Amino acid sequence: MTIAEKILVVEDNPLNLELLRDILLAEGYDVIEASDGAAGIEIARLERPDLILMDLQLPGIDGFEVTRRIRADARLASIPIIAVTAHAMKGDDERARAAGCAAFVTKPIEVRELVAVVAESLRRRGSLDGGGGSA
Ligand code: MN
């Protein structure tokens, strides 16, 4: 039996959130959601997701800062975070990686690319777990 991996989507735009949810559910993941950065941090602490999709343009605390705060929390530090951004602003990729994102995806969301990046990030996390993650 396989337990579905749990993905937290932090996204303030309802249409993007719906799209990301539909894609991830179709892939068999469990999806939990937050529509701003503060809620994203709180839900990450409560739910310990396997992976986080992080919109960088959020009201209040932006996705870069949310990522830094999650990275700074020892209990959450190993969760891979994939940055999602509306338009490839010059330097966003580097900034996202510097903040602690494992990967970077641009909107408009390309379904196959997103699915591949999510699967790859989960696989890499599993291989770094030292075997403890699948128990
Ligand atoms: Mn946004």
CA–centroid distance, 53 to ligand 1, in Å, is 12
Contact between 90 and 34 (Cβ < 8 Å): no
CA–centroid distance, 102 to ligand 1, in Å, is 19
Residues 49, 80, 18, 57: is their CA dihedral positive or negative? positive
Model pLDDT for residues 61-75, shown as the tens digit of each residue: 999 999 999 999 999
CA–centroid distance, 35 to ligand 1, in Å, is 9
Model pLDDT for residues 42-66, shown as the tens digit of each residue: 999 999 999 999 999 999 999 999 9
Residue at 37: amino acid letter: G
Burial of 62 (0-12, 13-18, 19+ CB in 10 A): middle
Residue at 13: amino acid letter: N
Calculate the average pLDDT of the chain. 91
C-alpha 4/C-alpha 29 separation (Å) is 5
Q: What is the pLDDT of residue 87?
A: 67
Model pLDDT for residues 20-35, shown as the tens digit of each residue: 999 999 999 999 999 9
